[in-house]
Amino acid sequence: MRNVAIVGAGQTHHARRRTDVSQIGLAREAVTRALEDAELTMDDIDSVVVCTGPVLFAAVNQPEKWLVDAIGARLKPVVRVTSGGGTGLAGALAAVNQVRAGFADRVLVVAYDKLSEGALQYSISTLYDPFWGREFAVGIMGFSAAYWRARIDALGHSEEAAAQVAVKNRKNAMLNPYAHVKKPVTVEDVLNSRPLCWPIKLLDVPPISDGACAVVLASEDAAKTATDPAWIRGMAYYSEAENAAHRSMVQSEPLTIAAGRVYQQAGITNPRRQVDVVEVQEPYTCFELSYYEGLGLCAPGGAADLISSGATEMDGDIPVNPSGGCMGANPIGATALIRLAEIAQQVRGRAGDHQISDARTGLMQAGGGWANLRGVAVVSNTKG
Amino acid sequence: MSDSLLTGIDDAQVLDANIALPYTLTTGRAAGTFLAGLGDKRILASRCDTCARTMTPAQDYCNRCGEPSGEFLSMPETGTVTAITRTESVTLALIRIDGSDTDLMHRLSSGGPAADVGTRVRAVWADTPTQSMLDLDCFTPDDSGAEPGTPSPTGDIEPITEIPYAIDLAYRHSYGPHYGRLFDELATRRRILGSKCPQCRNVLVPPREFCDICFVRTAQHVDVADTGVLQAFSIIHMEFVGQTRKPPYVYAEIVLDGSATRLIHTVGGHDVDTLKERLSIGMPVRAVWKDAADTRGTLDDIDHFAPVFEQLP
Amino acid sequence: MGTNTLERVAVVASAQTTLRESWSSLQHVDLIGSAVSSALRGTGLRMQDVDVVIDCGSDVLDGRSISNCGFLGAMGAHHKEESRVEEDGLFGALYGTTKVASGSASVALIVAYSKPSESSVSAYYSTLTDPFYQRALGLDHVGAAGLMANQYLTTSDADEEALLRIAAEAWRKAGNNPWVETATVPTLADIESSPYVADPVRGLQLSRPVDGAVAVLLATEQVAHRLTERPVWITGMGTAMESHFLADRKPGELEACQAAAAMATRRAGISDVGSFGLAEVSGTSAAGEAMVVEALGLAHRGRAVDCYEDGASVSVNPSGGALPADPIMATGLVRLHEAAARLAGRLGDEAATTALVHGAGGLGMQNHCVFTLEV
Ligand SMILES: [Zn+2]
Ligand SMILES: [Zn+2]
């Protein structure tokens, strides 16, 4: 298979609401930064993949059709890949395949959402079957809280353990210039915060954000001019029928499958030892605990101990979300690509104040839907 | 079931559904300035210096090279029709505003003299601006024979930054071969139907044509119980647009006895504090049906599921 | 541009449901499941052999956010790699082809579907427009088709008579296509007497929205040779997107379609598009189809109608094309299915050995995708 590298990445300064730019202006900002980072222009780009959340987030159907002019992509291949909250990674995977297949040498992936334009929870509730269950839906939060409650019993993912995730990620976000929530909290603050969908409380929940991210992917030949490419060592995005028989959400099967495939591609047998930095898409704190186990950073039931041990802190042996993760900013359609961009910048040594020293191999996870779409990627500063 | 489904007759039973949502859309500088300009009875263009192109309406980025636009220009309110079509509701035209390098799409006046490609037109302004493209009400044929106007610099215009918007989409969802039967059974017998996979033998609720795991057609409908176990639950405190229950309440995912899939509903019958304290994963629950007079043949005919505390050890 | 030529990828099987104005007795999942199971039938492939599922549908048409998420079981995507390309189905086939060509899948299933009878086609198209300039005017696919047809007639030598003929030929061929359900097949006179919906476009010259689903199986060379005597090879692909603003596109021409065709034929190493045995193209109106035919290089500017004369070198839309049956998100993939089925001889003896396939998405066909095929 042809090697593919990330040769540039950029993101916006995310915000609760950006009133100074339109939806397309927001996306363009990230594109400009990614191209600058890659020292390329749109003339160098063969193909564009656009990712956003569902149309109801911002009232623009197939928004890439509106975006095309603003990024100077007219008459180029432009296509949008959607896949719930993990859409940024699903789009990156489409781009990787375009490069590997020789369809394009350099692909720009741009992912964005301007969530302040609409009513988030209600628009998410329209995921549900209009015949069955939509009337009881509580966005994805009611569902997520319910299975966290189940994991509290089954795996010991206690409210205190999740609160430690909030404390860690919100502390890390202080160092991230693009994050917009920069307020340290304590475990007590989280536990005492207002319940929204108990056990999910206000401080377990990321902000609602306007933001965008863009990444430039290149073939091995095209990456020769890049000084510090981050090589894609593995990438996969798996699905699970949302109401299949005996679906377990205590452990995520599609995550386990995706991680297994990616580790095989990347030659990883012990992620805790072989990976230097991890970024996960934690729409609520409880999910980060679940991902520790799904990604094999600890044994099933070991997540609470892992967070308590400090191993996933910036200075731990397996730092998770040095960027602050979703707790610093969560423009949903962009969030997965932000995670990919963050690990790429880590292994390229371009992560700035939240750089993990000597990061060589990065792991990221993303997902969406009813926790039934799950993707994983590994990048490294060597081709392998 | 089989492919004979595909030759079956149509029935007209549909579920009417609406998706209606409010928005506050951010215009960006160019559209915001353009819309503000319309309120001031002016048509604004943007200029790309790289492409030497004057674009009407104003754009933040050049439609050709994608570079940020330079200065805004105040355009004449006259131009020439380059394309036209009349639909049932509106006459749409592309209009080359005098001095512009691109066309502007807008409406032409209905009634009055007919317009065609090449017709000179001028703007007709709405009486009361509403921060919309329709503050320029339409264009109308201009037989004054006046010389084409020229663009002029624009003074400071405070852009409109946000405009309210709403989406209201209507749907007529087909019941398909399973939901009609399911709801009929709910309404008439208070029975919940599933469909059974002939391969893995699992019963799937709601009933469906294909087993998700085996990808084989399900063979038959079977009744499942209105009792089950609590697979997961959370306590909803937040309020949001479109909510159908008053918080706080218990959101629940239940596996009905005899089925292998999850059902989304609520648990009630006690105050929320009691439920939070006493509910546990795997606990038995039973459906509490609404009065027969209130049944509509939907999942909502079950008022809630009640926990069966006494069965606990 | 990509320096390597594509690895060989073949269409090994495909199927569609009947396309009809309303499948009111069936849901999306029923149409999807039916197309997918029909595509697999008789191939020797089982669902377990499929590595990846790419689907094309629209949340706005379906009335459900990330609607693919609710249809995964019917697509057979459970515990497989799956992604939605929210665009015409031929773009989904492009994704699937790159996935197989890159070596990361042996068999890809592409699914596209629409049930426009459940929703407002006008709302689908009007929500595609920018919310500030175009949407407020009441622009939808009907108005867009009218403006484009007006431009086509204004900027070329074509006349309304030519557009009537193109529509009449489309309906005549659809009348012979068992997969397109038509109560009656309108004649040229019927079309001519149908009222304008957006002049110069008459009602029967606008593509007719229909419900339906289509499924296509793509495979590596190794798998293809095992499954079929006559694999249909994908020899080239190209796509390009036009400017968003309808008022800022080249009048009467489809530059993005030209660019997509140039990319596909260059990759296929084909210099003479007149050498294709058949073409299956998507047009949202008679003028739209004419512009596509010309952009693909099958006819000179303004002379698309020549392709519909007896004895034309390339058989254009033997299926009838998109005018009689436009299952919006599935239209381009239906074209691929029709072309591949013909080349493979699944629709009877077929002389053609090469085909040009076109799909389009967006308002006024903003986005274009072109495939070249060969047996
Ligand atoms: Zn320019
Ligand atoms: Zn089964």
Range of the domain at C94: 9-119+209-227
pLDDT of residue B244: 80
The whole-angstrom separation of Cα B205 and Cα B263 is 7
The whole-angstrom separation of Cα B114 and Cα B95 is 15
Distance B313 CA to ligand 2 centre (A): 34
A-chain CB neighbours of B62 within 8 Å are 69, 72
pLDDT of residue C206: 98
Q: Which of A77, A128, A368 sits opposite C239 (nearest CB)?
A: A77
A-chain CB neighbours of C366 within 8 Å are 65, 68
Looking only at the bridges linking them, the beta strands covering C81-85 and C52-56 are: parallel
Residue of B nearest to A127 (CA): B19
Q: Which residues surround ligand 2, an ion (CB under 5 A)?
A: B 197, 199-200, 211, 213-214
Question: Which of C208, C287, C278 has its CA nearest to residue C254?
Answer: C287
DSSP strands (E only) in C38-175:
52-56, 81-85, 107-114
User: What tokens were used for C176?
Assistant: 């012979």
C122 φ, ψ (degrees, to nearest 5): -60, -45
Output the domain CATH number for residue C78. Answer: 3.40.47.10
* C86–A80 C-beta distance less than 8 A: yes
What dihedral do alpha carbons B187, B190, B196, B202 form, nearest 10°?
130
Q: How large is the average pLDDT for residues A249-259? A: 95
DSSP A113-149: EEGGGS-HHHHHHTTS-TTTTGGG-BTBHHHHHHHHH
- C-alpha distances in angstroms, C87 versus A67, C145, C328? 15, 19, 9
pLDDT of residue C351: 84
* N-term to C-term CA, chain A: 12
Q: Which of C63, C81, C101 sits opposite A237 (nearest CB)?
A: C81
User: What tokens were used for A62?
Assistant: 């197939």
Average pLDDT of chain B, as a whole number: 91
C240 φ, ψ (degrees, to nearest 5): -160, 145
- C-alpha distances in angstroms, A323 versus A166, A180, A360? 13, 11, 16
The contacts of residue A363 (CB under 8 Å, 6+ apart) are A271, A275, A277, A278, A279, A295, A343, A376, A377, A378
* N-term to C-term CA, chain C: 26
The reply to whether B139 touches chain C by the CB within 8 Å rule is no
Q: Which of B24, B62, B236 sits opposite A138 (nearest CB)?
A: B236
- What confidence tier does C310 reach under pLDDT thresholds 50, 70, 90? confident
* Cis, bond preceding B57 (omega within 30 deg of 0): yes
| C174-226 pLDDT tens trace | 999 999 999 899 999 999 999 999 999 999 999 999 999 999 999 999 999 99
The whole-angstrom separation of Cα A60 and Cα C34 is 31
| B155-212 pLDDT tens trace | 889 999 999 999 999 999 999 999 989 999 998 889 999 999 999 999 999 999 999 9
User: What tokens were used for B191?
Assistant: 């029975």
Nearest CA-CA distance, residue A215 and chain B, Å: 18
What dihedral do alpha carbons A194, A197, A202, A206 form, nearest 10°?
180
- pLDDT higher than threshold 70 for residue B3: no
Nearest CA-CA distance, residue C140 and chain B, Å: 10
Higher-pLDDT residue of B112, C46: C46
| Among C30, C48, C51, C79, the residue to mutate for chain A (most A Cβ within 10 A) | C79
Q: Are C89 and C214 in contact (CB under 8 A)?
A: yes
What does the buried/exposed string (b/e) look like for B242-260 if buried means 16 or more CB atoms within 10 Å of the residue's CB? Answer: bbeeeebbbbbbbbbebbb
C-chain CB neighbours of A372 within 8 Å are 69, 72
DSSP A334-345: HHHHHHHHHHHH
| Among C86, C243, C372, the residue to mutate for chain A (most A Cβ within 10 A) | C86
Distance B215 CA to ligand 2 centre (A): 7
- pLDDT higher than threshold 60 for residue A299: yes
Q: Which ligand lies nearest to the CA atom of residue B48 in the structure?
A: 1
Q: Is B225 left (phi over 0), alpha (psi -120 to 50) or beta?
A: beta
Residue linked to tokens 């996969």: A236
Question: Which of A94, A99, A59 has its CA nearest to residue A80?
Answer: A94
Looking only at the bridges linking them, the beta strands covering A78-82 and C81-85 are: antiparallel
- pLDDT higher than threshold 60 for residue A287: yes
The reply to whether B273 touches chain A by the CB within 8 Å rule is no
* C73–A77 C-beta distance less than 8 A: no
- pLDDT higher than threshold 60 for residue B311: no
- What confidence tier does C1 reach under pLDDT thresholds 50, 70, 90? very low
The reply to whether B252 touches chain A by the CB within 8 Å rule is yes
Q: Are C57 and C110 in contact (CB under 8 A)?
A: no
| ipTM above 0.95 for this complex | yes
| Among B23, B85, B199, the residue to mutate for chain C (most C Cβ within 10 A) | B85
pLDDT of residue B11: 53
In a domain, residue C317? The reply is: no
The whole-angstrom separation of Cα A152 and Cα A186 is 21
Q: Which ligand lies nearest to the CA atom of residue B65 in the structure?
A: 1
| Among A131, A152, A202, the residue to mutate for chain B (most B Cβ within 10 A) | A131
The reply to whether B116 touches chain C by the CB within 8 Å rule is no
B-chain CB neighbours of C200 within 8 Å are 85
- pLDDT higher than threshold 60 for residue B22: yes
In a domain, residue C39? The reply is: yes
B146 φ, ψ (degrees, to nearest 5): -65, 150
Question: Which of B136, B88, B142 has its CA nearest to residue B115?
Answer: B142
Q: How large is the average pLDDT for residues A328-343? A: 98
DSSP strands (E only) in chain B:
14-26, 43-48, 53-55, 72-75, 78-86, 91-97, 104-108, 120-125, 136-141, 152-153, 162-174, 192-196, 203-204, 220-224, 227-236, 249-256, 263-267, 284-289, 302-307
Average pLDDT of chain A, as a whole number: 96
Residue of A nearest to B260 (CA): A245
In a domain, residue C173? The reply is: no
| Among A43, A47, A82, A265, the residue to mutate for chain C (most C Cβ within 10 A) | A82
- pLDDT higher than threshold 60 for residue B70: yes
Residue linked to tokens 């996933």: A312
The whole-angstrom separation of Cα A284 and Cα A298 is 19
What dihedral do alpha carbons C139, C142, C143, C144 form, nearest 10°?
90
A-chain CB neighbours of B268 within 8 Å are none
What are the residues facing B106 on neighbouring strands? B93
- What confidence tier does A228 reach under pLDDT thresholds 50, 70, 90? very high
Percent of chain A with pLDDT over 90: 91
DSSP A154-165: HH---HHHHHHH
Helix (H) or strand (E) holding C196: strand C196-198
Looking only at the bridges linking them, the beta strands covering B220-224 and B227-236 are: unpaired
The whole-angstrom separation of Cα B36 and Cα B74 is 12
Distance A256 CA to ligand 1 centre (A): 48
The whole-angstrom separation of Cα A122 and Cα A56 is 9
Q: Are A325 and A281 in contact (CB under 8 A)?
A: yes
pLDDT of residue A125: 82
| C235-290 pLDDT tens trace | 999 999 999 999 999 999 999 999 999 999 999 999 999 999 999 999 999 999 99
User: What tokens were used for C96?
Assistant: 């699937």
pLDDT of residue B5: 44
What are the residues facing B250 on neighbouring strands? B235, B267
Distance A240 CA to ligand 2 centre (A): 14
Domains, chain A: 4-120+209-225 (3.40.47.10), 146-206+232-380 (3.40.47.10)
User: What tokens were used for A138?
Assistant: 């509580």
Q: How large is the average pLDDT for residues B45-63? A: 94
The whole-angstrom separation of Cα C7 and Cα C23 is 39
- What confidence tier does A94 reach under pLDDT thresholds 50, 70, 90? very high
The reply to whether A368 touches chain C by the CB within 8 Å rule is yes
Positive or negative, the CA dihedral A184, A189, A194, A200 is positive
* A93–C73 C-beta distance less than 8 A: no
pLDDT of residue A1: 79
- What confidence tier does B4 reach under pLDDT thresholds 50, 70, 90? very low
In a domain, residue C70? The reply is: yes
Scanning A1-30 for CB atoms below 8 A from B yields 17-25, 28
| A151-184 pLDDT tens trace | 999 999 999 999 999 999 999 999 999 999 999 9
In a domain, residue C218? The reply is: yes
- What confidence tier does C311 reach under pLDDT thresholds 50, 70, 90? confident
Question: Which of A375, A371, A351, A357 has its CA nearest to residue A178?
Answer: A351
Q: Which of B5, B86, B107 sits opposite C30 (nearest CB)?
A: B5
Scanning C184-213 for CB atoms below 8 A from B yields 196-201
DSSP B22: E
- pLDDT higher than threshold 50 for residue A375: yes
Percent of chain C with pLDDT over 90: 95
Q: Which of B26, B167, B260 sits opposite A19 (nearest CB)?
A: B26
Count up the domains in chain C and report the number.
1
Q: Which ligand lies nearest to the CA atom of residue B199 in the structure?
A: 2
Neighbouring chains to B with at least 3 Cβ pairs closer than 8 Å: A, C
| B5-20 pLDDT tens trace | 444 445 557 899 999 9
* Cis, bond preceding C324 (omega within 30 deg of 0): no
Q: Are A162 and A185 in contact (CB under 8 A)?
A: no
In a domain, residue C21? The reply is: yes
Distance B123 CA to ligand 1 centre (A): 27
- What confidence tier does C350 reach under pLDDT thresholds 50, 70, 90? confident
C-chain CB neighbours of B165 within 8 Å are 131
In a domain, residue C350? The reply is: no
The reply to whether C72 touches chain B by the CB within 8 Å rule is yes
What are the residues facing A235 on neighbouring strands? A377
User: What tokens were used for B227?
Assistant: 């009792």
pLDDT of residue A48: 98
Taking the model in full, what pTM does it have? 0.97
Nearest CA-CA distance, residue A246 and chain B, Å: 5
Nearest CA-CA distance, residue C245 and chain A, Å: 8
In a domain, residue C142? The reply is: no
